[in-house]
Amino acid sequence: MPSMQQLLGREPALIGVTHVLPLPGSPGWGGDMGPVVERAVADAEAYERAGFDALIIENYCDIPFARDFAGRGAVAGLAAVAARIADRVSLPLGINVLRNDALSAVAVAATVGARFIRVNVHTGAAVTDQGIVQSEARETLRSIRESAPDLVVFADVFVKHAAPLGNTTLEREALDAVQRGGATALIVTGEGTGAPASIDDAARVRAVLPETPVLVGSGATVETIPGILGVASGIIIGSAAMVGGEAAHPVDPERVAAIVRAAGR
């Protein structure tokens, strides 16, 4: 299993999230891709200037999300945004197509040369605000093999805004995601966007899969980052990097600078 350093160039890794403004086909679409691209590129450049190691690009503002296929507009729009970002920053890129459209994430990633995709429900099933979301690990890995053989999967375990369907444990879901689903790295989150993830949960996942990179994917703050990095292979930063700590706001250069300092950079 490759380390986070092998995947992204440094361990522990700081991964920023670009919350793309509403895309074509979403209820909030504004009718003009110009501001969408401009904002996303500015966020990406702010993360790179601050010293982050990688970037996830996701259609966060397309709420309410589709349960499976995100729609042609979302996929085309996200590809356009990601392609522009790839031209402007040198950070390794990841793609997340919400709610759980892994096949579209593979397509976008292959188009723009991204290094990884994030999949909320890679194995098993979960009860979410979109209803029951089921995994498509087999189809995802087949698509990767056909379209982008070097692409890897970062899979959530007990993902936020969801509850696992059936009687399972955090450890079992983590083992299944890697051993049966072929995930390369795992993500532990809190209950919702911006909610702190449990460091104990990250440690539990690390204990059963000591060779697998484990990321904390929500709720990190300047105060908690040192403790998280004592356990995790890296942190995914979204809301904490944005103006006022609000998930739909632009990236705040002062906040990302403080986050990098807290990580000991």
- For 4-255, CATH number? 3.20.20.70
pLDDT digits over 154-198, tens only?
999 999 899 999 889 999 999 999 999 999 999 999 888 878 899
pLDDT digits over 44-91, tens only?
999 999 999 999 999 999 999 999 999 999 999 999 999 999 999 999
Sign of CA dihedral 188, 191, 195, 200: negative
End-to-end CA distance of the chain: 26
Pairing of strands 185-188, 152-157: parallel
Q: Where are the domains of the chain?
A: 4-255
Contact 36, 20 (CB under 8 A): yes
- pTM of the complete model: 0.96
Contact 222, 237 (CB under 8 A): no
Cross-strand partners of 235? 14, 216
- Side by side, which strands form the sheet with 125-128? 131-134, 125-128, 162-164
Contact 122, 177 (CB under 8 A): yes
Q: How remote is the C-alpha of 93 from its chain's centroid?
A: 10
